Chain A
Amino acid sequence: MALRVPEPATETAPPVRKGFTRRQALAAAVATGVGVGAVRLLGGTIQNITRSGSASGTDWVSPLSRESARVAQLLRRTTFGYTQAQLDSALSDGFSKTVDRLLETKPQEPPVLAAAGTPGGRFSPQQLQQWWVDHILTTSTPFAERMTLFWHGHFTSDYRKTGDNTFMYWQNLTWRRMALTNLGPMLLQVTTDPAMLRYLDLATSTGQSPNENYSRELMELFTMGAGNYTEDDVRQSAKALAGWQQPPPDSIATVTVDKAKMVTQKLPVYSTQKPGVFNPKRAYKGTVTFLGKSGSLDTQGVIDRILAQPATAPFIASKVVEHFVTTRPVKSYITRLGDAFRQSKYDVKTLMRAVLTSPEFTADGSYRALLKSPTEFMVNGARALGATNLGKLIVAAGSGMGQSLFDPPDVGGWPNNAAWISSNTVVERVNFVTVALAQSKASLPSSRDAAQQHLDGVLSPQTAKLLTQAPDERSRWFVTLASPEFQLK
């Protein structure tokens, strides 16, 4: 666990430290753009493109001057990968039209999860995970799922503490519907979301004895970032936010929880999705001083004050950039995006359009600057193989790579990029490929163009060598999907 949203890098390169290990030299060389010399595989032949440079590190040679590479990168970052047909379709539309299509197509709703009617939401988390993964695998609007995953990691909750998987299901439906809407209504929604009411304890907070958990994370993790409010602001907004409770159920079911001992329990049953309800009797009656202003304040008032803070727009912009563009944004980029976001009155679609169409998104320096999350990696792999039967494997394999859906490590959501790499996770990633290929009984798609389609033909010498040595179709797919290139986006 670490701070999830780092300070944007300054415009200048970091100072070079003495006593470099090979590993540091490599990282520094790449970061400062010194190191060069890499290998491309173009149309099945290996070209060694070496530029002068004394550092030991090498960087990928960016192919982003080509429209086709820009489109492929766009899809890798905004969807969960592609089949050949999906790539061909986007390539014929071109970059701009593909951005429009991603942003303007209405999200396809997932099928109704019948288990959501289970009293108390007591169905298995695997059922919930399976339902979502199957939808991610088959949806016609994968960008909506990518954004839903982004918000699931941002306004996060886990099934363990929430203790009601119907509420977790609702939260997922909510982020899909609101993914490209507006931050203000999203903040009101997350504050009154039944899963969140439990996950961060707002449902048990009262004006008389407020619980600070939600109040703190609303500012620290959801909107402004640490350092932009005081401890007193946390306490004051905890008072102002108190009073929300879980929605009343549509009925109560008596369920036998222990047959042997004849233990029964009364559990809530919901037939439709509902937000939390406000109980004025539990609210705080007095005035508060919050973020520099005094007066009586309700939940909407708290949200309005947060939206009026200059820290909020760049905080969200910075998080989006870390997930979609680069881990090392310059300050001016974040400022520019934050300004556009705030001027649009926090319209998420405006922010996403600004991000996807920014020169930074397709700059050579952003090529392979991000690491696919475990879910992205696995679904990308399944799509590349044209396999639709890997849902169960994807659900089971995520935790060893550090990502189990509906079960983030903590309230900060999932870490990203470099934090996905460890001796444990790399083994699990390779194992996924091995087992996915073993489970793909049906004939595999031809691997002839795989390196071009999925890796832009930009290969490390090792990947190129192993691909040419691979004796058969399965081996070539193994090398392609287990390669470092395929982990990146």
Chain B
Amino acid sequence: MSKEIGINQLKRRDFLQAGLVFGAGAAGLAAGYAAVPDAFARAVYAAKQNGVANDNVLVMIQLAGGNDGLRTLVPLTDPTLHDLRPKLAGPMVSQALPLTTDFGLNHNLGGIKSLWDKGKVAIVQGVGYPNPTFSHFESIRIWETGDPTRRQVDGWLGRTLAKAYDSNGHPLTGCACGATDVPGALRDLQATMTVIQNQKTFGFSGGSEVEAAVGALYKGTPGIYGALFDTAIATANDTIATLRTSSASYQPMADYSDKVQLVYSSKNQLAAALQLAAELIVTGTGVKLLHVTLGGFDTHYTELNRHDDLMGYLDSAVSAFYQDLAAHGKADKVLIATWSEFGRRPKENASGGTDHGAAAPLLLIGDPVKSGLYGAEPSLTSLDATGNLKFAVDFRSVYQEILGSHLGADANEILGASFDRIPFLNAPVAVA
């Protein structure tokens, strides 16, 4: 990074200079407007919910770009793999960390392997949906909305928030950490989402007077963006107030530093995002649904090093996150789940990479899971017409289990249908 000065580095100094902006007049500007509400109390309220009695939390980790399932959960004994991937198969099989006779984790998933050994990892194999699209954007939308027919516009977690938790729009019930925009899975017109890119720098330069003035400025804003603006500002103000309280009482009890240098520097600081997620969880803000993203999985080219690095990056961040939650006594409440728009083509291409694929495994991590392999092993010899793995488990089966058995929400209402059960949880909660 250069030495150029960013907004956030300027913050403290500019508090003084920004005083010029609001100096004597600040009180006048903000006069007549209520102080920022007690966001902390409001968020805690949000956790006590219509029909949802438990205080479980969900953390979804998006592996954006299409994660190679065959390099995540590696088939160890299938000779076809070597025919399909003459360059990629050898090292990935020989170095894999065996879970069973036939399957092993990518060698860089050592932390997740040790969680597996402690009975805290479930893997659902062959997850996908009928008639897969190979477009990133279409498939992401399908996973985000939970609707392969593409009629639904709201995200599945956004609908969950609006229907099960919080029809009144309390901030910090659903939060995207490490992002600047609302991920599609969390989007819903009737729900309020919080987005925090970097917790250390989240806040108004100029402090509470700017906060109050901006809160006054963004009220009853006309036009098609008016309500979006007003909600975003109100959410920001509430979130800033909450973080002020939570940051003071939170001490990370794990090492979140990046232990892997990615081939291409990452846009998403996964470990930092998960650390913020941990802070929101352990300080009792009432957060229920969290979303973080790690990009770079579109490995059409030189997949060997790039994918291994991504696995290592994911592994160290998730391991630290779990350790932190456990040290704070919250691990029993939190389910971590990965998702990706598709897996990759079993046959490698000339660039030492793989093109867009279909079915892939999904990782579920945490104390709530019942360890083991679920779903069905995808066949490498009976591929579909596009040369891709056939799915065995509809991704909505996984959503259904998360919604109904972990969060205690009405999965049928949120997903609009019911699906085969995949019992990957220890103690499924009863749906109210």
Question: Contact: A160 with B265, CB < 8 Å?
Answer: yes
| Neighbouring B residues of A241 by C-beta, 8 Å | none
Which of B134-142, B248-256, B374-382 lies on the face that meets chain A?
B134-142
Interface 0/1 of A24-60, CB less than 8 Å to B: 1011001100000010000000000000000001111
| Neighbouring B residues of A22 by C-beta, 8 Å | 227
Q: Is B346 an interface residue when CB atoms closer than 8 A count as contact?
A: no
Question: Contact: A204 with B350, CB < 8 Å?
Answer: yes
Q: Is A245 an interface residue when CB atoms closer than 8 A count as contact?
A: no
- A426 touching B181 in the complex, CB below 8 Å, given contacts A163-B264, A211-B300, A432-B7: no
Give the complex CA separation of A420 and B64 in angstroms: 20
Interface 0/1 of A386-430, CB less than 8 Å to B: 000000110111011110000101111001011111111111101
Q: Is A66 an interface residue when CB atoms closer than 8 A count as contact?
A: no
- A462 touching B233 in the complex, CB below 8 Å, given contacts A126-B4, A400-B197, A434-B205: no
For residue A36, which residue of chain B has the nearest CB? B222
Residues 196 to 221 of chain B near chain A (Cβ within 8 Å): 196-198, 201-206, 210, 213-214, 216-221
- A409 touching B264 in the complex, CB below 8 Å, given contacts A210-B349, A231-B386, A423-B239: no
Question: Contact: A434 with B18, CB < 8 Å?
Answer: yes
Question: Contact: A474 with B226, CB < 8 Å?
Answer: no
Question: Contact: A126 with B2, CB < 8 Å?
Answer: yes
Question: Contact: B184 with A460, CB < 8 Å?
Answer: no
Question: Contact: A371 with B205, CB < 8 Å?
Answer: no
| Neighbouring A residues of B300 by C-beta, 8 Å | 200-201, 211-213
Q: Is A286 an interface residue when CB atoms closer than 8 A count as contact?
A: no
- Complex partner residue of B264 from A60, A161, A419, CB under 8 angstroms: A161
Q: Is B54 an interface residue when CB atoms closer than 8 A count as contact?
A: no
Question: Contact: B264 with A2, CB < 8 Å?
Answer: no
Question: Contact: B204 with A422, CB < 8 Å?
Answer: no
Number of A residues with CB within 8 Å of any CB on chain B: 96
Give the complex CA separation of A392 and B2 in angstroms: 11
- Complex partner residue of B29 from A213, A216, A470, CB under 8 angstroms: A470
- Complex partner residue of B202 from A126, A161, A424, CB under 8 angstroms: A424
Give the complex CA separation of A33 and B300 in angstroms: 47
Q: Is A114 an interface residue when CB atoms closer than 8 A count as contact?
A: no
Question: Contact: B350 with A60, CB < 8 Å?
Answer: no
Question: Contact: A397 with B222, CB < 8 Å?
Answer: no
Residues 49 to 85 of chain B near chain A (Cβ within 8 Å): 64-65
Question: Contact: A424 with B180, CB < 8 Å?
Answer: yes
- A38 touching B222 in the complex, CB below 8 Å, given contacts A160-B264, A160-B265, A163-B264: yes
- Complex partner residue of A234 from B134, B183, B265, CB under 8 angstroms: B134
Interface 0/1 of A457-489, CB less than 8 Å to B: 000111101100111101100110011100110
| Neighbouring A residues of B220 by C-beta, 8 Å | 58, 460-462
Question: Contact: B221 with A426, CB < 8 Å?
Answer: no
- A438 touching B18 in the complex, CB below 8 Å, given contacts A27-B189, A201-B351, A426-B232: yes
- A160 touching B14 in the complex, CB below 8 Å, given contacts A400-B7, A484-B229: no
| Neighbouring A residues of B203 by C-beta, 8 Å | 427
- A460 touching B221 in the complex, CB below 8 Å, given contacts A213-B300, A424-B179, A425-B181: yes
| Neighbouring B residues of A24 by C-beta, 8 Å | 189-190
Give the complex CA separation of A427 and B202 in angstroms: 8
Question: Contact: A209 with B138, CB < 8 Å?
Answer: no
- Complex partner residue of B28 from A430, A469, A483, CB under 8 angstroms: A469
Give the complex CA separation of A4 and B140 in angstroms: 12
Residues 82 to 117 of chain A near chain B (Cβ within 8 Å): none
- Complex partner residue of B180 from A23, A160, A425, A430, CB under 8 angstroms: A425
- Complex partner residue of B134 from A58, A59, A216, CB under 8 angstroms: A216
For residue A395, which residue of chain B has the nearest CB? B4
Which of B19-27, B98-106, B108-116, B390-398 lies on the face that meets chain A?
B19-27
Interface 0/1 of B12-41, CB less than 8 Å to A: 001001101111110011010000000000
| Neighbouring A residues of B8 by C-beta, 8 Å | 400, 431
Known: A2-B137, A216-B134, A411-B298. 10 other contacts (CB 8 A): A1-B184, A30-B226, A226-B135, A395-B4, A397-B6, A428-B180, A434-B206, A438-B17, A471-B24, A478-B21
What are the 10 tightest A-B residue pairs by CB atom distance, in nearest-first order? A471-B25, A209-B350, A204-B351, A396-B6, A402-B180, A422-B195, A438-B17, A423-B236, A58-B222, A23-B227
